[in-house]
Structure 1
């Protein structure tokens, strides 16, 4: 079965090449690789052209943000499954896709696995705990899009909403789940998820507010208590870091 890997990038020449190498070095043969660039001016296009023979399709044009760019990737994809491995992120090893797609997943809509979380302090292994598996008051999605695969026809039906700046992937997962989507967990490390320059990591508080919004919690008094405490924690951490 064909797997489409989409990389979204904008002025990421410093970190894009390691992502490209990670994708094109996969031992799995049926890969369609697509790069969606937002109109970079920093040398990104030169890097893409360097690997042009290994890339099925690529475009460089302005977009309305990361989720608009990811939707463009969905529209261009012809694989049965779609993964978003954005600039700076990598597959855990060159046999990751071979390890995952060695079975028939025709009865599932969404596959998710483990990740290695990377920041300036090093690496941390994380096993996903999706929002429907936890009793936390305001759970996050529990996994990153780099370690997930969504069936193409499902991705087309439940495209990323441009209403959200940080939680669009969570919102897509949530809609798929609410529509009785079939989720499958594979205990395999899929991605090295680098948050050093991550948009979501830099805006964690705003991301959590969007999480609460899509879960319909914003009018609940517990919401205000929860986010007041989270805001205080965020301010304290920022103060310590400074």
Structure 2
């Protein structure tokens, strides 16, 4: 049997001190797997450096200085990475439990042909109250041609696949995950493991809440990379519906098999999103 891969976690950060301890301890607390954590802070003016000095003893590398933003920080982090498996975890997000990365490492070990492994994500309110779950069913390269078929926080990939496609495109400022996963998935296998791996915090300053115009423009770039015109637009809509139905089936399957979920609103279904927005006063 193949050896367990080392996992590199890259965390870009800027003025997120109030959330950073949760991020750092969720990575350093991982059990049963070798983890390399790299933090690139863009010269925060809050208490970020103090938090890192108190709780960042497990970091393989960190710096705090002005940079060109999140995309540039990620590129720098992955250039420094020495793990066989890579991911990024934003400074306001965190791994769900201490065995999240062990499950990921086991999935890569047991599926040597897989280039990407993804799992489930819990979307939380600012205070970590579970709001929605993001669960997908059998994500594929075909789906990734049309839409973001996997949750970024719970998606991991082999370093050699990342380097084969040239890594993150510096021209993307919001949808660098969609762009990277789309390119990296083509001709490669994605597998999903039925476990919650990470939490995505919906907080007021998050890019999800404030970067709507950039998001729409960059999504359009990705969605038209492999086609254009009416027939392609209809294909995108059909695949989007397929992903949403798959998400509903993934959640139903979890319930039927006895999995305990922290909440039941499905992040891929707009009625559930509208409910969460009203109940928790969120913007996304």
Structure 2: gaps (5+ residues): 238-269
Candidates 15, 19, 22, aligned match of 2:26: 22
The structural deviation recorded for 1:131 is 6.9
Instruction: Decide whether the 8 Å contact of 1:113 with 1:187 is kept in 2.
Output: yes
1:80 aligns with 2:84: yes
Q: Corresponding residue for 1:113?
A: 119
Q: Corresponding residue for 1:216?
A: 224
Q: Corresponding residue for 1:145?
A: 152
Candidates 25, 29, 47, aligned match of 2:51: 47
Candidates 126, 130, 137, aligned match of 2:134: 126
Q: What is the distance in 1 between the residues matched to 2:141 and 2:84?
A: 25
Structure 1's consecutive aligned runs of 4 or more residues displaced over 4 angstroms after TM superposition are 129-135
The structural deviation recorded for 1:2 is 1.0
Structure 1: gaps (5+ residues): 227-232
The structural deviation recorded for 1:206 is 3.4
Instruction: Decide whether the 8 Å contact of 1:131 with 1:141 is kept in 2.
Output: no
Q: Which moved more, 1:94-103 or 1:41-50?
A: 94-103
1:155 aligns with 2:162: yes
Instruction: Decide whether the 8 Å contact of 1:112 with 1:143 is kept in 2.
Output: yes
Q: What is the distance in 1 between the residues matched to 2:49 and 2:222?
A: 36
SS state at 1:163 partner: coil
SS state at 1:93 partner: coil
1:185 aligns with 2:192: yes
Q: Which moved more, 1:146-155 or 1:194-203?
A: 194-203
Q: What is the distance in 1 between the residues matched to 2:195 and 2:170?
A: 30
Measured against aligned partners, the alpha-carbon deviations of 1:202-221 in whole angstroms (never above 9, x if no partner) come to: 32453133112122279646
Q: What is the distance in 2 between the residues matched to 1:57 and 1:100?
A: 22
Measured against aligned partners, the alpha-carbon deviations of 1:13-72 in whole angstroms (never above 9, x if no partner) come to: 111111111111111341111111111121111111113421111122222221111111
Number of aligned residue pairs: give it. Answer: 226
SS state at 1:87 partner: coil
Instruction: Decide whether the 8 Å contact of 1:74 with 1:156 is kept in 2.
Output: no
Q: Which moved more, 1:120-129 or 1:167-176?
A: 120-129
Return closer, same or farther for 1:131/1:163 CA change in 2, 3 Å cut-off. farther
Instruction: Decide whether the 8 Å contact of 1:91 with 1:190 is kept in 2.
Output: yes
1:202 aligns with 2:206: no
Measured against aligned partners, the alpha-carbon deviations of 1:121-167 in whole angstroms (never above 9, x if no partner) come to: 842112125475659xx953132321011111222333111222211
